[in-house]
């Protein structure tokens, strides 16, 4: 049989890819048939509830659950004593996403580290009994000083969260613990010399608050542990294989004993790449020998699940009067909540990636505070760092009276240039996005009083990763795709399009399903803009595997060598007249007779995908600021981005629009507000101000397609990049509208009025 790789060819013309079929999950979702996390139930199911800390920082002296356990209807209670002790150490245990940290976040051990930290949980016959049981659990705390601000947490006299946390990345190694988990740096060229060559230099301080991903569906799961120790777990997640592995490690289970099924997901945006309640549900079920379901309420989601980080940043850039960047220097300080792992290194790497800059120095600090452990939020870290970078760049454009797009074009990175963070770029579309934005009608619209136009560029490197796909053909000519990547943005339709394209059959003949962890090899989660690229590549390879087998069947029927059979647009054909005079055999004909020619035909692919392809975007926004109230109205918005190849253009446009909408909220309204007591003041959508439809304009989009050579169809991920430019684009528009630059997000009306008064 020919190798799969020899079957795949780069396609220039497409029949299915690039079309806009109706999404396969749409009807089920709008009619209520789709089953989300909280929709799952099981016979004899118990209600699980979690007791959470009322303190931002405290030592847990004792936990007495006896009264709760005696309450009628309580089937099980778990505390820290029900979770195995994991290996301890010093800094080695406190690494990003270490199992020790995740375990201590799932259930507090010797200390609670933020308001909302789990300290116990119950499984009962009803929600009302669960609430009574939680009230009967007696916890004795020794309240400790707390810190929720990133700069305050870095101060020498700050309350220390972890006595075993010593800063990595500094020499000599520190002798005392602190809240600074790690210092990293990127240095290119001679920054000091670069600044001496600049005609204009701008340096500013910036701050951004933590914001929540704002998914509509809260975290939910149902665990059912049987007498033999095996467990079925259903949950809303972006990566059920990671949930399986994490739960198994935390609870001391074998991977094969835990089957995890991902439900339909009501939003994630990175916030559901983590584990919060799933190990608790498994522990409760194991103890009760009954299924246990836990659903977070909205207050819990805000207080105890991960938002993105808050940040404090310094940015300094120098340019010549002709607009050439001579040097850039940034310091980025991000808090990752109660445990190490803020995305600050990734964000810092994105700042100068769009620009051909010879002299760059970027310093990053990962800091812990008494807040919930942060979680990813579309391009983790990049929106904040790029906000600082693009704001200073826009101010420099004003100072030399240069068009902001022209300034970016002068410095735009191109194919063959080495990025500031290391890799050399292949074919990329940054210049094309800038030119498309400049030629769009939005860029020529006249502006009136109190109105301003902002421009910003964004970048995300994208990711490949471990992926498995199985493709099964049926004798009626239909195809079933089994995928292991939860669909959060239309990936099922995209995979069906690519399978249909490769097989040469109609899109309507292909169906896709998301399998459980027992039914397919390991898959990394739906994150990092990886799925359309990585699962698409695996889908194409699985289709080619099936094609090779169909060629083999045709060769046997014709009694010729398989190398003499080619696959062409859905048909097996002789490679040439020398191979024989045979009528082409269609896909439908081959699979219809498969049982009599050797049995079922299926294709498989297990890959560690590489070549994800970098992603660039340019956003342009017009705003109007009411000088009497400080309210900002977004008038027009344009998002231009290189998709490589848009498999399903409607989904791609939706990603662009969704990132812009979320970025507008981040820039203007959204923020976590903590009081002096370390408690969150706005844990709900009434007080946490997300944009609604009336806050947003129609968001125009342009899809640029510069094929990614790392994918046979030219695909590059698009999900992360759309949220990177909006913070800076909106900030730049507001600055030009009011003639003053705000350096703290969100730019809420009181802050704008204060700036106007100054």
Beta carbons of 141 and 61 less than 8 angstroms apart: yes
562 Cβ contact list (under 8 Å, min separation 6):
1, 2, 548, 551, 552, 555
Q: Does any domain span residue 619? A: yes
Query: Any idea what the CATH number is for the domain that residue 225 is in?
Result: 3.90.1170.50
Are 590 and 571 in the same domain?
A: yes
Single pTM value for the model: 0.96
Identify the residue with better confidence: 62 or 13.
Answer: 62
258 and 116 housed in the same domain? yes
Q: Beta partners for 452?
A: 623
Q: What is the pLDDT of residue 89?
A: 44
| Least confident range of 86-90, 499-503, 633-637, 668-672 | 86-90
CA dist 717 and 700 (Å) reads 20
Distance CA 316, CA 389 (A): 8
Residue 2 has pLDDT above 60, yes or no: no
**Tokens coding 590:** 């081959």
Q: Which tokens is 162 given?
A: 């972890």
Q: How many domains does the chain have?
A: 3
**Model pLDDT for residues 95-146, shown as the tens digit of each residue:** 456 899 999 999 999 999 999 999 999 999 999 999 999 999 999 999 999 9
Closest CA to 341 of 464, 218, 168: 168
Model pLDDT, residue 595:
95
Return the minimum-mean-pLDDT range out of 227-236, 372-381, 573-582: 573-582
Q: What is the mean pLDDT of residues 452-457?
A: 98
602-609 and 360-367 strand pairing? unpaired
Out of 609, 628, 646, pick the residue that ends a domain: 609
178 in a structural domain: no
> Residues 283-335: pLDDT tens digits?
999 999 999 999 999 999 999 999 999 999 999 999 999 999 999 999 999 99
* Residue 412: HSE in the Cβ half-sphere, 13 Å Cα cutoff: 23
Q: State the pLDDT at residue 92.
A: 44
Residue 449 predicted with pLDDT over 90: yes
Indicate whether 9 pLDDT > 80: no
Q: What is the mean pLDDT of residues 164-193?
A: 96
Tokens of 518: 């027992």
Cα–Cα distance measured from residue 462 to residue 338, given in angstroms and rounded to the nearest whole number? 27
* Domain extent for 393: 310-462+613-757
Burial of 690 (0-12, 13-18, 19+ CB in 10 A): middle
Residues 481 and 580 in one domain: yes
Residues 679 and 603 grouped into a single domain: no
Please say whether the beta carbons of 247 and 258 come within 8 A.
Answer: yes
Question: 558 and 656 in one domain?
Answer: no
Residue where one domain finishes, among candidates 251, 286, 304:
304
Q: Which residues contact 623 (CB under 8 A, 6 or more apart)?
A: 451, 452, 454, 632, 633, 634, 635, 730, 733, 734, 737
- Phi/psi-derived region of residue 10, left when phi > 0, alpha when psi is between -120 and 50, beta in every other case: beta
Mean pLDDT of 477-490: 96
Confidence bin at 93 (pLDDT 50/70/90): very low
Pick from 551, 585, 609: which residue ends a domain? 609
Is residue 211 in a domain? no
Region 534-554: what's the mean pLDDT?
A: 98
411 and 451 in a common domain: yes
pLDDT reported for residue 41: 96
Instruction: Write down the pLDDT at residue 412.
Output: 98
Helices and strands in the chain, H and E counts:
20, 27
79 belongs to a structural domain? yes
64 vs 365: CA distance, rounded Å: 39
For CA atoms 203, 204, 210, 213, give the dihedral sign.
negative
Alpha helices per DSSP H over 87-185: 99-106, 127-136, 150-154
- The backbone torsions φ and ψ at residue 459, rounded to the nearest 5 degrees and listed phi first, read -145, 145
Over residues 143-158, mean pLDDT: 98
Residue 10 pLDDT > 70, yes or no? Answer: no
Task: Please indicate, yes or no, if residue 355 is contained in any of the structural domains.
Answer: yes
Q: How confident is the model at residue 638 (pLDDT cuts 50, 70, 90)?
A: very high
689-712: average pLDDT: 96
One domain, residues 428 and 338? yes
**Structural domain includes residue 664:** yes
φ and ψ at 701, to 5 degrees? -135, 150
Work out the mean pLDDT of the chain and round it to a whole number: 95
Q: What is the pLDDT of residue 578?
A: 81
* Residue 168 DSSP symbol: B
Q: Are 588 and 517 in contact (CB under 8 A)?
A: no
**Rounded to an integer, what distance in angstroms lies between the CA atom of residue 221 and that of residue 274?**
13
Tens-place pLDDT, residues 514-528 = 999 999 999 999 999
**Does residue 8 carry a pLDDT above 60?**
no
Judgement on whether residues 690 and 748 belong to the same structural domain of the protein: yes
Residues 672 and 729 in one domain: yes
Rounded distance between C-alpha atoms, residue 97 and residue 341, angstroms: 7
pLDDT band at 1 (very low <50, low <70, confident <90, very high): very low
Q: Evaluate if residue 86 carries a pLDDT over 80.
A: no
In a domain, residue 574? The reply is: yes
CA dist 100 and 162 (Å) reads 13
Q: Work out the percent of the chain whose per-residue pLDDT is above 70.
A: 97
C-alpha of 558 from chain center: 50
Helix (H, G, I), strand (E, B) or coil at 620: strand
201 in a structural domain: no
Q: What pLDDT sits at residue 24? A: 87
pLDDT band of residue 87 (cuts 50, 70, 90) is low
196 torsion bin: left (phi>0), alpha (psi -120 to 50), beta (else): alpha
579: confidence class by pLDDT, cuts 50, 70, 90: confident
Same domain, 594 and 669: no
Give the model confidence (pLDDT) of 16-48 as tens digits: 999 999 988 889 999 999 999 999 999 999 999
Say if residue 76's pLDDT is above 70.
yes
Find tokens 């420099």 and name the residue. 396
CA distance linking residue 407 with residue 618, whole number of Å:
13
Whether 94 has a pLDDT exceeding 80, the answer reads no
How much of the chain, in percent, has pLDDT values that exceed 90? 94
482 and 457 in one domain?
Answer: no
- Structure confidence at residue 758 (pLDDT): 83
545 & 605 share domain: yes
Task: Give the separation between CA 265 and CA 293, rounded to whole angstroms.
Answer: 16
Cα(104)–Cα(110) distance, rounded to whole angstroms? Answer: 9
pLDDT of residue 11: 65
Query: Domain of 374: which CATH number?
Result: 3.30.365.10
- pLDDT over 50 (residue 634): yes
Cα–Cα dist 40/235, whole Å: 9
If one counts every other C-beta atom within 10 angstroms of the C-beta of residue 595, the result is: 11
**Strand order through the sheet with 571-574:** 565-568, 571-574, 585-586
Cis peptide, bond prior to residue 746, ω within 30 of zero = yes
């Amino acid at each position: 049989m020919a190798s799969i790789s020899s079957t795949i060819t780069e396609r220039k013309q497409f029949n299915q890819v690039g079309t806009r079929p109706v999404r396969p999950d749409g009807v089920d979702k709008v009619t209520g048939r789709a089953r989300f996390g909280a929709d799952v139930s099981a016979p004899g199911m118990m209600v699980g509830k979690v007791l959470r800390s009322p303190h931002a920082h405290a030592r847990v002296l004792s936990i007495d659950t006896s009264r709760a356990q005696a309450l009628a209807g309580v089937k099980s209670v778990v505390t820290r004593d029900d979770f195995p002790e994991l290996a301890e150490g010093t800094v080695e245990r406190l690494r990003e996403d270490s199992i020790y940290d995740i375990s201590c976040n799932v259930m507090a051990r010797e200390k609670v580290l933020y308001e909302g930290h789990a300290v116990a949980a119950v499984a009962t016959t009803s929600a009302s009994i669960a609430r009574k049981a939680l009230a009967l659990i007696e916890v004795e705390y020794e309240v400790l000083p707390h810190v929720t601000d990133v700069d305050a947490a870095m101060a020498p006299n700050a309350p220390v969260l972890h006595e075993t946390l010593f800063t990595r990345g500094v020499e000599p190694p520190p002798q005392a613990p602190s809240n600074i988990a790690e210092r990293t740096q990127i240095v290119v060229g001679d920054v000091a010399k670069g600044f001496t060559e600049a005609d204009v230099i701008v340096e500013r301080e910036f701050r951004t608050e933590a914001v929540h991903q704002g998914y509509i569906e809260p975290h939910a799961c149902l665990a059912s542990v049987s007498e033999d120790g095996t467990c079925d777990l259903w949950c809303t997640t972006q990566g059920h294989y990671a949930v399986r592995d994490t739960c198994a490690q935390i609870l001391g289970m074998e991977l094969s004993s835990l089957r995890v099924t991902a439900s339909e997901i009501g939003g994630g945006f990175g916030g559901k790449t983590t584990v919060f309640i799933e190990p608790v549900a498994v522990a409760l079920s194991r103890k009760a020998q009954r299924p246990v379901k836990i659903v977070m309420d909205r207050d819990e989601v805000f207080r105890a699940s991960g938002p993105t980080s808050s940040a404090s940043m310094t940015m300094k850039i120098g340019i010549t009067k002709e607009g050439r960047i001579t040097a850039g220097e940034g310091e980025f300080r991000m808090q990752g909540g109660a445990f190490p792992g803020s995305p600050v290194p990734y964000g810092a790497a994105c700042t100068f990636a769009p620009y051909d800059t010879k002299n760059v120095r970027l310093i990053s600090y990962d800091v812990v505070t008494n807040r919930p452990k942060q979680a990813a939020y579309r391009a983790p870290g990049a929106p904040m760092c790029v906000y600082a970078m693009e704001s200073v760049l826009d101010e420099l454009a004003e100072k030399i009276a240069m068009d902001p797009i022209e300034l970016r074009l002068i410095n735009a990175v191109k194919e063959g240039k080495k990025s500031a963070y290391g890799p050399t770029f292949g074919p990329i579309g940054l210049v094309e996005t800038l030119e498309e934005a400049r030629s769009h009608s939005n860029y020529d619209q006249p502006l009136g009083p109190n109105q301003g136009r902002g421009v910003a560029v964004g970048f995300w490197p994208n990711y490949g990763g471990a992926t498995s796909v199985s493709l099964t053909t049926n004798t009626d000519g239909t195809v079933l795709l089994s995928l292991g990547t939860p669909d959060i943005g239309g990936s099922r339709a995209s995979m069906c399009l690519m399978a249909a394209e490769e097989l040469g059959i109609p899109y309507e003949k292909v169906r896709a399903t998301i399998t459980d962890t027992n039914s397919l090899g390991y898959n990394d989660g739906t994150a990092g803009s990886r799925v359309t690229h990585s699962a698409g590549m695996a889908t194409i390879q699985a289709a080619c595997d099936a094609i090779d087998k169909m060629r083999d069947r045709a060769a046997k029927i014709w009694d010729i060598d398989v190398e003499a059979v080619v696959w062409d647009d859905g048909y097996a054909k002789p490679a040439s007249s020398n191979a024989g005079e045979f009528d082409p055999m269609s896909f439908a004909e081959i699979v219809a007779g498969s049982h009599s020619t050797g049995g079922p035909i299926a294709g498989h692919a297990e890959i560690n995908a590489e070549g994800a392809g970098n992603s660039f975007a340019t956003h342009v926004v017009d705003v109007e600021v009411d000088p009497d109230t400080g309210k900002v109205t977004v008038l027009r918005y344009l998002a231009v981005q290189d998709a490589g190849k848009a498999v399903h253009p409607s989904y791609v446009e939706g990603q662009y629009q969704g990132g812009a909408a979320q970025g507008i909220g981040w820039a203007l309204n959204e923020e976590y507000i903590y009081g002096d007591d370390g408690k969150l003041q706005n844990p709900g959508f009434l007080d946490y101000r997300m944009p609604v439809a009336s806050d947003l304009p129609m968001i125009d989009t342009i899809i640029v397609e510069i094929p990614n050579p790392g994918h046979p169809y030219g695909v590059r991920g698009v999900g992360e990049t759309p949220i990177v430019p909006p913070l800076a684009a909106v900030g730049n528009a507001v600055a030009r509208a009011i003639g003053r630059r705000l350096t703290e997000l969100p730019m809420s009306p009181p802050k704008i009025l204060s700036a106007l008064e100054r």
